[in-house]
Amino acid sequence: MQVVTLSATYGTGGSVIGPAVAERLGVPFLDRAIPGAVAQDLGVTLEEALAHDDRAERGLARLLLGMTRLPSVTWGGVEAHLPPSAPLTPEEFTQRTEQVIRETARTTGGVFLGRAGAIVLADHPGALHVRLDGPLRRRVLQTAAFSGVDEREARRVVCANDRARAAYVRQFYRADPADPGLYHLVLDSTVVPVPTCVELIVTASVSLG
């Protein structure tokens, strides 16, 4: 079972490259599916889980917001009875997200986008850890072209998302997601064409597996 983690700055095509790699490897692509699974297990709505996800628009401020869960939830197969409106801490959300990532990697394999996957699965046998990045200017231009917004708005979106994703990793893992030491492969996908990126990742994953 192939396991690939993708860390992608905004505007580098992670949401395009990830599914293409997963299809080639015959494994699931896990992005929004992760907070969905966490929400189900913790007894919160998907919207509440996404507020703690590393894609939250307002970054660290939203990551640290409290949430409300149901009076009775299942945690690791054990039912826990909690008072109404018990806060769900960011740490609880992160721990459960890690469990989902590890369990999925162990049982089905997959391509995991974001959520500090390279750190969570650092010791997973045969896992390939990939970083997609590129100069800010080119990422802004790609975002503008893809989304149809002007360059100024594209820059705002790119910078806000970069801060949010970096804040998630720094807050919960005390690490810099731009550290090349976390990855086996670093690609500038603002220059290297998407099909070539997919081919390189698939080839590297198969060789490790």
Kindly report the three-state secondary structure assignment for every residue of 102-130. HHHHHHCCEEEECCCHHHHCCCCCCCEEE
Helix (H, G, I), strand (E, B) or coil at 38: helix
Query: Which positions ≥6 away from 75 have C-beta within 8 Å?
Result: 41, 42
Rounded average pLDDT over 77-83:
38
Reply yes or no on whether the pLDDT at 89 is more than 60: yes
pLDDT digits (tens, 9 = 90+) for 137-165: 999 999 998 888 899 999 988 988 888 77
Reply yes or no on whether the pLDDT at 83 is more than 50: no
Are 134 and 189 spatial neighbours (Cβ–Cβ below 8 Å)? yes
Amino acid, single-letter form, for residue 141: L
141-158 as b/e, with b when 16 or more CB fall inside 10 Å? bbbbeeeeeeeeebbebb
DSSP result, 61-84: HHHT--EE--SEEEETTEEEE--T
Give the per-residue pLDDT at 155.
93
Residue with more model confidence, 87 or 101? 101
Q: What does the alpha-carbon distance between residue 56 and residue 64 come to, in Å, rounded to a whole number?
A: 11
Give the per-residue pLDDT at 130.
98
Reply yes or no on whether the pLDDT at 136 is more than 90: yes
